[in-house]
């Protein structure tokens, strides 16, 4: 009988660890997305193949083979006119594992929200992901953009020994004086 209990103990332990392994981290906090419907692609096209390849490449590069991640990656796939440019950026305080999870989530989410658009961007609290049929690297571009506001009340809070104030004059008077 002891061997039976021993077997059952390990069977239950294995099943519990399997179930725990299936649970994933909570979905990221969605903020906004944009899919300008200016250019679209046909399903099962070369552009879609390049896009799918590129998005999987982003996920695999969200954490390097050494487990390190800079939290940023950009890449391209294909040749003109079906070339796709894509990038992601995770917040600096996000771990490489969390970054990879967020990028993985974003790549599937953006395809649901923007199924045939050649240009798309999606923002979450901890990262954003963007792809386009035009180069988006090393170029300052004000579009797409969105203004997001903080819905929380801002009250006087201590920060670095000072009390934050709505009035800058009041704030300046509270600043320490240096000779």
Measure the CA–CA gap between 108 and 166, rounded to whole angstroms. Answer: 41
Chunked in runs of 10, what are the mean pLDDT values of the chain (179 residues)?
48 40 66 88 96 93 71 94 95 91 95 95 94 87 72 64 57 58
**Taking a C-beta distance cutoff of 8 angstroms, is the pair 71, 99 a contact?**
yes
Give the pLDDT confidence score for residue 9 in this predicted structure. 45
Looking at residue 22, its pLDDT comes to 38
For residues 169 and 172, what is the distance between their CA atoms, to the nearest angstrom?
5
pLDDT at residue 156 in the model: 59
Three-state SS for 115? coil
Residue 103 near residue 52 (C-beta atoms within 8 A):
no
User: Residue 176 has what pLDDT?
Assistant: 61
C-alpha torsion sign, points 136, 141, 146, 149: positive
Rg of the Cα trace of the chain?
23
- What is the per-residue pLDDT for 174? 58
| This prediction's pTM | 0.68
């Amino acid at each position: 009988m002891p061997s039976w209990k021993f077997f059952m103990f390990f069977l239950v332990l294995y099943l519990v660890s399997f179930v725990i392994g299936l649970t994933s981290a909570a979905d990221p906090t969605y903020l906004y997305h944009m899919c300008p419907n200016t250019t679209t692609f046909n399903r099962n096209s070369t552009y879609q193949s390049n896009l799918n390849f590129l998005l999987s490449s982003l996920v695999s590069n969200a954490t390097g083979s050494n487990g390190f991640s800079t939290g940023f990656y950009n890449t391209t796939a294909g040749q003109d006119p079906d070339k796709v440019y894509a990038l992601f950026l995770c917040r600096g305080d996000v771990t490489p594992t969390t970054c990879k999870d967020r990028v993985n989530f974003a790549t599937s989410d953006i395809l649901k929200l923007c199924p045939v658009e050649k240009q798309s961007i999606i923002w979450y609290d901890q990262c954003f992901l963007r792809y386009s049929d035009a180069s988006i690297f090393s170029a300052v571009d004000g579009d797409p953009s969105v203004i997001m506001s903080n819905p929380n009340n801002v009250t006087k809070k201590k920060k670095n020994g000072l009390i934050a104030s709505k009035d800058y004059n009041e704030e300046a008077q509270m600043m320490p004086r240096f000779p």
